[in-house]
Amino acid sequence: MSFFRSRGWVVGRRVVLVVIVLAAAYRNYGDTIAGWLGQPAPGIDIVLTHVEFRADLVNDQRPAWFIGLSNRSRNTAYRNIVLEATYSNEAGVLEQGEIVIDEHLNPGQETLIGSRDPEARSGATRGALRVVDAEAVE
């Protein structure tokens, strides 16, 4: 019983309590603190929630895209979102291109955009998108 009255026990309890408080604070506020200290990261903040490539909608050679975007950042808005598009068919990848979405995306906002492809993509039956870059708006 004298161990529980010793200086080592008192210091050990305080250290454990401080570690628990710091872990709880990081769990609750870690993203906010990292957002204050870090630079905007559009590749991480902007998430594609829906990607649909449609080459069969109109008799035009330019396919259509239906793109769902979500800004997961808590404090950074983005515009001029640059997407890398990969076009393929049953034989494999045909080509890659770049699509710029001229849309203002506020923090926490989610939107669905319908857009025609900027170029004709003959033979493409499938498409995939990836967020490459965006302009941060403070």
- How far apart are the C-alpha atoms of 26 and 32, rounded to whole Å? 9
- The 10s digit of each residue's pLDDT in 17-53 is 999 999 999 888 887 777 677 788 888 899 999 999 9
Mean pLDDT of the chain: 88
**Average of per-residue pLDDT across 115-119:** 84
- Sheet containing strand 126-137, edge to edge, reads 92-101, 77-89, 126-137
CATH T-level fold of 42-137 = Immunoglobulin-like (2.60.40)
Which sequence spans correspond to the domains of the chain?
3-37, 42-137
Task: Give the predicted TM-score (pTM) of the model.
Answer: 0.69
- How far apart are the C-alpha atoms of 128 and 138, rounded to whole Å? 29
- The 10s digit of each residue's pLDDT in 86-116 is 999 888 888 898 999 998 999 999 999 998 8
Phi, psi angles (nearest 5°) of residue 115: -150, 145
